[in-house]
Amino acid sequence: MATISLKRRLGEFRRIGSDWTLLVGLLVVVLFLGVAIIYPLSKMLGVSFTAESFAYYVRYFSSPVYQGIMWNTIQLGLVVGLFGTALGFLFAYVQVRVDVPFKKFMNLMALMPIISPPFAVATAAIVLFGRGGLITYRLFGIRYNLYGFTGLTIVLTLSLFTVAYMNLQGMLRALDPSLDEAATNLGASKWHVFRTITLPMLIPGIASSFLLLFVEAIADLANPLVLGGDFTVLASRVYIAISGEYDIFAGSVLSVILLVPSLTVFIVQRYWVSRKSVISVTGKPAGKPTMITNPIVRWGLFALTMFFSLLILLIYGTVFVGAFTELFGINYTPTLRHFEFVVLGLGSQAMMDTTKMSLIATPIAGVLGMLIAWLVVRKHFTGRSLIDFISMLGIALPGTVLGIGYLLAFNKPADIGSITLLPPLAGGTAIAGGTIALILAYVVRSVPAGVRAGVASLQQIDPSIEEASISLGADNATTFRKVTLPLIRPAFLTGLVYSFARSMTSLSAVIFLSTPYAKIMTAQILNEVDAGRFGNAFAYCDILIIMVLIVIGILYFVVGTTTGVERDFGVSL
């Protein structure tokens, strides 16, 4: 037994060695994951598990204030998870199963948060529903205090429910309508079908949406910073520890405390709940589903969905209009002053820096995502699922955790003895003004979306198509270039779009890494919001949204989507 197993291992090494594309691909991926994820994470964990940091754990777990912060974090995660999933389900159900007008508009509103910068929703909510808010105060005369748990819940729900919407919409579309027909044929009413067929089949999807939203909500930094008020959560506390108190031990220990629930829930979602699914989302429509015909249910659902769609429209309308007015809510004199500040004035450096770094990070993340997906789906080697898991950490780790890891890992050179393996990559004194660490962080945060899109796409492509190419004399590299890549082009495009949008709007992972030579736009927005200069913040948001849309347009044009292949494979964006 042992000798056979050893022989097999040797055979595996020989095979990897003889297959240079696999070898090079693996080396690139392992190096990337090692430097960009494992190394910073281990640095952060190293700091948080020293004798010195132990005192912090004792203090945090015994102090009622910190117990409160932990409870706040969990509470926020649970409530946003619940409401976000419910809202996502509502939008998805109406989209797939209810025949009402304006569905395209609703879909667009539900997708808005993908390209939305952080702070956009929160800032608009303040000027609309806050103490001096247009709606609350001007319209109804209420001095409403939006800051705190309620405001955070509303804003986070509206910002994050897109994840649940897309997830559940895919599942609802993939539900075989003949199941409904079979149940109806056996005498079940529509409500009975929904309760006994549709809902149970969707439970894994609902659970996994809830868990994903939980992870995103507890990791969110932007909204608690702006809207938290007295309601502190772990992510905002980490930020204060690093940026205000310069206490790296406090930051690291709090990060570990935040990391535990995030990672646990992520692992439960990914390796347990999502495997329970009885529906395979292939992207192929399974047929025409039965529509809801009861007018009360139909128009009730329509009214509810329309209400939220209009709310989202109002919010983004405010973001848009707010940038062109002196001070939204108080002085509506039209002005281009804010755009001058962002485009030509002091604010323009951040815009240029962020765009340049995002443009560099996007293709790297796109290619890496496809490469990892290809290795994970098509190649058989020991440690394949580990590579998949580590690449997903880029999104599973809360941004602040990653940011602290980068601070610790890249502010100083990485040495082994007297040999310098890596020069400092982060901070103003690092090479390229600290941009390398920022770009690396952008790539790490963007890769998972590309990997998932690539994996989904590759799993739909019959492996014998690639085998046919090899059988006709092509090596692995040629096959990847001439067959695989053209076929997964839509997924590649998705990866690129996500990467760019994510990089441009990223905050928590990079806020500690911004330097005078590499300014990031989202951090500038935070400054403007903090100073009450909402107009400037809105102008930044508008510019961000417009740039993301332009780049998406260019990517569609360059990479192209109408090869006919998408139709054959049912792959679509």
By beta-carbon proximity to another protein, the closer residue of 104 and 380 is 380
By beta-carbon proximity to another protein, the closer residue of 103 and 384 is 384
Q: Left (φ > 0), alpha (ψ -120 to 50) or beta: where does 189 sit?
A: beta
Q: In angstroms, give the least distance from the CB of 371 to another protein.
A: 20
By beta-carbon proximity to another protein, the closer residue of 180 and 566 is 566
Q: In angstroms, give the least distance from the CB of 9 to another protein.
A: 11
Q: In angstroms, give the least distance from the CB of 18 to another protein.
A: 7
Cβ distance 441 to 402 under 8 Å?
yes
Mark out the alpha helices in 426-520 (DSSP H runs).
Answer: 435-460, 463-471, 476-479, 485-487, 489-505
Q: How many CA atoms lie within 13 A of 344 on its CB side?
A: 5
Cβ distance 512 to 404 under 8 Å?
yes
- DSSP state at residue 422: E
Q: In angstroms, give the least distance from the CB of 566 to another protein.
A: 10
By beta-carbon proximity to another protein, the closer residue of 8 and 131 is 8
Q: Can you read off the two tokens belonging to residue 251?
A: 């930051």
Q: Nearest Cα to 119, choosing from 235, 215, 218, 227?
A: 227
Chain-centroid distance of CA 45 in Å reads 23
By beta-carbon proximity to another protein, the closer residue of 184 and 282 is 282
Q: Which residues bind another protein (CB under 8 A)?
A: 4-5, 7-8, 11, 14-15, 18-19, 462, 464-465, 467-475, 478, 482-483, 486-487, 563-565, 567-569
CA–CA distance, 254 with 348 (Å, rounded to integer): 34
By beta-carbon proximity to another protein, the closer residue of 141 and 473 is 473
CA–CA distance, 497 with 4 (Å, rounded to integer): 46
Cβ distance 539 to 341 under 8 Å?
yes
By beta-carbon proximity to another protein, the closer residue of 338 and 378 is 378
CA–CA distance, 520 with 502 (Å, rounded to integer): 13
CA–CA distance, 43 with 415 (Å, rounded to integer): 13
Task: Compute φ and ψ for 428, nearest 5 degrees.
Answer: -65, -25
Q: In angstroms, give the least distance from the CB of 3 to another protein.
A: 11
Q: Can you read off the two tokens belonging to residue 154?
A: 């509303």
By beta-carbon proximity to another protein, the closer residue of 32 and 480 is 480
Q: In angstroms, give the least distance from the CB of 554 to another protein.
A: 22
Q: In angstroms, give the least distance from the CB of 24 to another protein.
A: 16
CA–CA distance, 214 with 493 (Å, rounded to integer): 28
Per the document, the length of the chain is 573
Q: In angstroms, give the least distance from the CB of 453 to another protein.
A: 18
